[in-house]
Amino acid sequence: MTSSSATPPLDYDRLRESLSAAGAVVALAELHGGVCGALCAGGVDAARRWLVDSLDDAELGASPAAVADDLEELINTSAKMLEDAELRFEPLLPSDDEPLAEQVGALAEIHEYVRVSVQLAFEELGPIRAAAAREVH
Q: Where are the alpha helices (DSSP H) in 12-126?
A: 12-21, 28-57, 68-83, 100-125
The reported pLDDT for the residue numbered 58 is 60
Ramachandran quadrant class, 102 (left: phi over 0; alpha: psi -120 to 50; beta: rest): alpha
Question: Domain residues for 85?
Answer: 12-136
The reported pLDDT for the residue numbered 6 is 63
What is d(CA 36, CA 92) in angstroms, rounded to the nearest whole number?
A: 10
Q: How many structural domains comprise the chain? A: 1
pLDDT tens sequence for the chain (137 residues): 344 456 677 888 888 888 888 777 778 888 899 999 999 888 899 899 888 888 776 665 556 677 888 889 999 999 999 998 988 888 888 989 999 999 999 999 988 888 888 877 767 666 555 555 555 55
pTM attached to this predicted model: 0.76
For residue 89, the domain's CATH number is: 1.20.120.740
Residue 4 lies in a domain: no
Are 32 and 74 a contacting pair, CB within 8 Å? yes
